[in-house]
């Protein structure tokens, strides 16, 4: 093959796995600033879009549109109010997008999760304890745990040629870099 032919070659790394073997975990968020809001002001703002319930112990989201929040040494269950959920929009009905649309942008002034250094992401495999530790150790002011995206939600976004919100899934198994590829 000469160099002219090599310039036109395109290579793609692909990994095939049975859907039944794929595990999708949440990708949780911690925030380092409340945008100059006092704790009680922040909670009042949250209540505009969520049903907020303080819990006595570590809280794990129970289902779609239910999130956990660790704030001011307490765990909360946050359930997104129905009027904010657009079930016809495959991206707009994802919890990660709704959290951005209802909390991060309007309340905290975070408009770009990819570039705003006030946002940190913690893979769901580390559990809710990692969220609590981040806040208790003063690395963050508030932490949000999300319910994992389902494979059906992921497919719906892909089938409609949309893009998932940043860091909305932690998928295992992880592909190792430097993967050996065999020709079939």
pLDDT of 174: 75
Q: What is the CATH number of domain 20-172?
A: 3.30.1760.10
- pLDDT for 22 equals 84
pLDDT, tens digit (0-9, with 9 covering 90-100), for 20-30: 888 889 999 99
Q: Which long-range contacts (CB under 8 A, 24 or more apart) does 158-163 make?
A: 159/90, 160/90, 162/90, 162/91, 163/91
User: What's the token pair of residue 76?
Assistant: 């909360």
Residue 42 pLDDT more than 80? Answer: yes
- Region 127-142: mean pLDDT is 96
Give tens-digit pLDDT for 51-106: 999 999 999 999 999 999 999 999 999 999 999 999 999 999 999 999 999 999 99
Would you say residue 9 has pLDDT above 90?
no
Average pLDDT over residues 171-176: 76
């Amino acid at each position: 093959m000469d160099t002219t032919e090599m310039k036109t070659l395109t290579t793609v790394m692909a990994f095939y796995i049975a859907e039944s073997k794929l595990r999708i975990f949440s990708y949780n968020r911690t925030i380092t600033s409340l945008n100059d809001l006092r704790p009680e002001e922040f909670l009042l703002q949250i209540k505009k879009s969520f049903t907020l319930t303080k819990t006595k112990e570590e809280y794990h989201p129970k289902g779609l549109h239910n999130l956990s929040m660790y704030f001011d040494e307490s765990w909360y269950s946050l359930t997104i109010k129905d009027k904010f959920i657009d079930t016809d929009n495959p991206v707009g009905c994802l919890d990660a997008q709704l959290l951005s649309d209802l909390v991060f942008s309007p309340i905290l002034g975070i408009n770009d999760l990819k570039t705003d250094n006030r946002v940190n992401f913690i893979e769901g495999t580390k559990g809710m304890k990692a969220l609590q530790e981040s806040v208790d150790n003063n690395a963050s002011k508030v932490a949000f745990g999300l319910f994992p995206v389902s494979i059906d939600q992921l497919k719906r976004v892909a089938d409609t040629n949309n893009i998932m919100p940043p860091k909305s899934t932690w998928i295992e198994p992880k592909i190792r870099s430097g993967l050996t590829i065999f020709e079939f």
